Amino acid sequence: MYLLKIEKWRIPEDAIKMAFDHRSIEYIYEKDLTTAFGSGLRTDLEALSRLSDLPTDWKEKDIERAITNSDVIGLIFLTLLRKQFYSGATQLVDTGFVRISHILVGCKILRDASDDKKNEQIHRETSTRLKLYFTERATLITSFIYEATSNNDLVENELDEPVNHAGRLLVNHGYLEDAIRTQNKSFLENKIVTDILHKMWYGEEESLFRQVGIFILLALIHLIVMPVLMINITAPPLKWFYRKYNLPFMKALIQMLGYLALLMTYAYMLLFNYIHKDFSWTDGIIVGWMISFLLNEIKQAIVSAIRHRFKRYMCNVWNLLDWTLMFVYASGMFLKLGKDVTYEDSTKILLVLTFILLSIRILNMFSISEYLGPKLVIIQKMFKDTFVFLVILTVIMMSYNVSYHSLLYPNSELSWQEIEKVMQNGYWTLFGEVGLIDSETLSDCTDDETIYTSRNHTVKRDRCPTHLGIHISPYLKALYGLIAVIILLNLLIAIYSDTYKKVNDECKFHWSQIQTDFLEEYSIETIFPIHLKLLMLPFGLVHVLVWLTQYCCFKIKDRRLNKIEHEDQHDSLYSYDSERDKWKENPMFVRVFLYNADYDLKLKSTEEAERIGAARSKGKIEITEEDKITKLQNQMDIMNRELKDKHKRSDEMLKTMKEDMLKTIKNEILKINHDNLKEIKSMIKAQFKHNNEQEGQPASTQL
């Protein structure tokens, strides 16, 4: 660790994993674990474990346990970045022991350092260049893994079928989610990453014309083929169909076709086949689809609980919309089939509201498209801007509505119709409905309260406005139009333009978030769409019964066979991994009828493929010119510090020499002055003696 900090690390690679532990992290932080936990170690552990609720009062034993369960070398790499030992972090990455997830989290630390205004300009530029360097390293490791997958140069996998290890790392292991959370746009927009995701979606790197034709044909015949697949998927022709239908794009396409068919049937029911207190054939289709929809949502909730993601399921807006949609439709159908005629209007309103919610729900399906997805993100951001803007507009509108109506019609009767009349003045003015009072309106009005409040429509007439309101209200309306229509609406348009520019510049990044969620959702989902859930239910129950029969009848026999095989292979090097055992614990009917249980498996072969890719990336990235400049700058800084130290020592020596010289000069001057004074005194004595002899006086008297 000392050599690593002073940028002179030359430890052999075979000793790396044996020599490093949590004490190495303490040495770099120069603090104990509990203090380091509050100084950035907790943030790194959260990023690696993808947990946001780590306790803040962990004891040292808890922290040691968490570090032991994590990758120690990756945490050492992040610690070096936090302590700004950048050369040591670069040397550690060049060994090939730092994985993609650690590199992405490290890029986030470097981005924070480059955005921090407190750091010096050179330090911020260095952080930016290193972020690009590490991002290129993560991309290179990913490309090596993907290249090995494409060339079938794979390690032995546990699923007994070809595995896209690069895709599993990005999606199943959450590396793509790490890149999104750390806002690493360079990694997300890289062509290698895009090709991997494209292959996971469509089964091919590019959507060729032939592939599109196959997708359309399979979507058209899915009502014929899928019931057969509910019986058997292992036969050679059916296995090919199952693999094609198991692609996430095919699942999303067939799901969207089911939504569109339901929406068209629902629109036909509302427009041409709506019969109150009667159950039509369109109602039967819609009710069957809604029951399938309910079963699908219950299945999603159960699967999310099994995968420990139920909180995430409940926080998803679209899932809440699904439950709201089903509740509103069930309420409408309950009132429609009831015997009370007074609820006819309420029934129609609820069914129309269900149609609106269904239409909004289909918009979520269009988010899969690379062209429509970013546009829907822009609309979503604009809605947020609108809600904030409405707070200001509501205050101004209320002040105008109350003032305007009180000037024209004081002492009005409190009723819902009167409140609507008060509120609509300012609202419709925003859309150009000025509605100034003219002479015809004044001639056809009355001031008699019994007439304008009468419930008899043949007698009832409008109330006449007051004379003060007639003269003042046009000016008040003009002022309101100036503020609300010209200033506020143009301000809203400017806000929309700014939001559109920001989101459009980062549309690839925003769409990647939607794409990741959809890819996970449809990778876990079974091939059978919502409109076939009711048909799938009896077939699924039959498969469950068959599996239970086989499990109960052959359990003892399997145990004996496993025991014999274990004794025969006791000395063999071959053994099944724990993940393979987990895979075998999931029966086929679970993966076919419930959810893809293989999605969450952390395969040893995938980890081995990442290790091989990281090892192959050693020495592949040369030092860029910017890095050379950075090294030269660091050398210049070291030389400047050495020169400063030399100058300081020289100044101290000069100061000492100057003091000694001044002291010597002072002593010499004092000696010379003393001798001169003696000579002067003798001269003065001689002069006085000479003067006294001439005057005839004794010298002693004069002196």
Contact 180, 169 (CB under 8 A): no
User: Which pLDDT tens digit goes with each residue over 90-135?
Assistant: 888 888 888 888 899 888 888 888 888 787 777 788 888 888 888 8
Which pairs with CB-CB distance under 8 Å and at least 24 residues apart come from 360-367? Answer: 360/321, 361/259, 361/318, 361/321, 361/322, 361/325, 362/256, 362/259, 362/260, 362/263, 364/318, 365/252, 365/255, 365/256, 365/259, 367/514, 367/518
- Over residues 58-77, mean pLDDT: 78
Could you tell me the pTM of the whole model? 0.74
- Calculate the alpha carbon distances from 633 to 83, 94, 252, 641 in Å: 19, 21, 54, 12
Cβ partners under 8 Å of residue 583, min gap 6: 158, 159, 597, 598, 601
Closest to 200 in 3D by CA, of 523, 509, 517? 523
Query: How far is residue 587's CA from residue 549's CA, in Å, rounded to a whole number?
Result: 13
* Choice among 206-220, 240-254, 344-358 with the minimum mean pLDDT: 206-220
pLDDT of amino acid 555: 57
Q: Is residue 563 very low, low, confident or very high in pLDDT (cuts 50, 70, 90)?
A: very low
Phi and psi based region of residue 50 (left: phi greater than 0; alpha: psi -120 to 50; beta: remaining): left
Query: How far is residue 201's CA from residue 217's CA, in Å, rounded to a whole number?
Result: 17
pLDDT of amino acid 568: 39
Contact 447, 411 (CB under 8 A): no
Query: How far is residue 697's CA from residue 609's CA, in Å, rounded to a whole number?
Result: 124
Beta-carbon neighbour count of residue 23 at 10 Å?
12
Q: Is residue 457 very low, low, confident or very high in pLDDT (cuts 50, 70, 90)?
A: low
Query: How far is residue 583's CA from residue 603's CA, in Å, rounded to a whole number?
Result: 10
pLDDT of amino acid 465: 73
Half-sphere exposure of 459 (CA within 13 A, CB side): 9
Contact 461, 444 (CB under 8 A): yes
Burial track 318-351 (b if 16+ CB lie within 10 A, e otherwise): ebeebeebbebbebbbebbeeeeeebeeebbebb
User: Which pLDDT tens digit goes with each residue over 652-695?
Assistant: 788 878 787 878 787 777 777 777 777 777 777 777 777 776 66
> CA-based Rg of the chain, rounded to a whole angstrom?
42
Within the chain, what is the greatest distance between any pair of CA atoms?
163
